[in-house]
Amino acid sequence: MKLKEYLLDKRHFFLFYFILMSFISSVISLDHTVKVDINNILYIHFVSFVFLCIYIIVGYLFYKRYYENLSEIIKKQDTNILSALPTPITNEQKLYHDLLYKAYLEQEEKIKGLQDQKKDNLEFITSWVHEVKTPIATSRLIIENSSEPYDKVLNSLEEEIDKIESHVERALYYSRIDSFSKDYFIHDIQLEKVIKDIIKKNAKTFINKGIRFSMDDINLTVTTDKKWLSFIIDQVLSNSLKYTNEKGFIKIYAQENKKEKNLIIEDNGIGIKQEDIPRVFEKGFTGHTGRESYQSTGMGLYLAKKLAKKLGHNLTITSELGEYTQVTIHFPKLTDYFNVSKL
């Protein structure tokens, strides 16, 4: 910092000095009991001004190096500001340093969050591309080897298109999960109708794998968003269909108690290892089952769990390896659905 700039910053000292000395001179001049020569008053002014200048100059020399270091940091590129900051001299400077350090940490945390989000998005897109390529490649093989009857070829192609549509839908919901609060409508819906629509959507998979299906009378009304809940149930059911062998069995039923209403989707599929159960809702987790037997991105249950929380619901899972898997969607009876987007 140059002396001129420093003096401009200290101009309030000079203003205060002139006001103070003017006041003292006025008091002395107006006091008729004490006669003071004008030369003495001027001498007092001169000495006081010299002391003021000495104070200003010493202060400038004292802070000069500190301000020069700050100027160098500002001019340099790719400098770690926190490590390069000079040691504070006064308490005021220390407060500014602490404030800057706090702001830096907050900004660093935001940047890290954005980087993690970018990395997650890249991983999802990469896995999604590999996943969606499978039904596309299968469709090409069906067309190239279309020696089978037309109806059977058409049904096979339609099934692969449904898979592609499912992957696209999952990507769409994933991209909109952070803007959930702008795209939901909470109202009372009949669970049975929603489930029947989802079963109809997955009918071809049921038929092709020969999976038997059972649904009790689900006479439950829940407060939720129909579109997002349909996606949640569809993800859970798709998982059951994926991990249930041919001629298997899937059952959907409901339970109700004083605290909540529950929708249960149960299958007699290959099950989940006990050590994998606590992590099945984690992002990208495929577990022993997904790694060994199937192509899986580990995104379906993650999205279902996250969206359920945003709706004020919850997902739990119980399973026995080689026996069954049971997923329960919990609908609490006492929930403030107007604050659900804050979850």
Measure Cα distances from 158 to 148, 166, 247, 313, 314 in Å: 15, 12, 22, 33, 33
Average pLDDT over residues 97-123: 85
pLDDT for the residue 267: 94
Do residues 134 and 82 both lie within one domain?
A: no
pLDDT for the residue 292: 53
Residue 50 — pLDDT band, cuts 50, 70, 90? Answer: confident
Do residues 50 and 195 both lie within one domain?
A: no
**CATH no. for residue 291?**
3.30.565.10
Helices 226-243 and 191-201: angle between axes, nearest 10 degrees: 50
Q: Give Rg (Cα) of the chain.
A: 37
Residue 317 — pLDDT band, cuts 50, 70, 90? Answer: very high
Contacts of 303 (CB under 8 A, 6+ apart): 170, 173, 174, 177, 231, 235
Average pLDDT, the chain: 82
Is pLDDT larger for residue 286 or for residue 195? 195
Q: Return left, alpha or beta for 8; rule: phi > 0 is left, psi -120 to 50 is alpha, else beta.
A: alpha
Closest CA to 20 of 56, 51, 45: 45
Domain edge (last residue) among 24, 51, 86: 86
Is pLDDT larger for residue 324 or for residue 151? 324
Domain edge (last residue) among 63, 86, 109: 86
Choice among 39-48, 87-96, 141-150 with the minimum mean pLDDT: 141-150
Do residues 174 and 82 both lie within one domain?
A: no
pLDDT digits (tens, 9 = 90+) for 192-231: 999 999 999 888 889 888 999 999 888 889 999 898 999 9
Do residues 18 and 45 both lie within one domain?
A: yes
Do residues 146 and 257 both lie within one domain?
A: no
The DSSP line for 245-274 is: PTT-EEEEEEEE-SSEEEEEEEE-SS---T
The partner residues of 263 in beta bridges, in order of sequence, read 254, 329
pLDDT digits (tens, 9 = 90+) for 26-35: 887 777 776 7
Do residues 128 and 277 both lie within one domain?
A: no
* Residue 132 domain boundaries: 88-183
pLDDT for the residue 3: 67
Q: Residue 262's Cα: distance from chain center in Å?
A: 28
Residue 260 has pLDDT above 80, yes or no: yes
Element (H, E) at 97: helix 91-144
pLDDT for the residue 189: 92
Residue 271 has pLDDT above 80, yes or no: yes
Element (H, E) at 90: none
Do residues 170 and 114 both lie within one domain?
A: yes
Question: What pTM was computed for the model?
Answer: 0.65
pLDDT for the residue 337: 47
Counted domains in the chain: 3
Burial class (CB in 10 A: 0-12, 13-18, 19+), 250: buried
The DSSP line for 108-141 is: HHHHHHHHHHHHHHHHHHHHHHHHHHHHHHHHHH
Closest CA to 299 of 337, 242, 223: 242
Do residues 214 and 335 both lie within one domain?
A: yes
Do residues 171 and 140 both lie within one domain?
A: yes
Domain edge (last residue) among 27, 55, 86: 86
Residue 14 — pLDDT band, cuts 50, 70, 90? Answer: confident
The partner residues of 261 in beta bridges, in order of sequence, read 256, 331
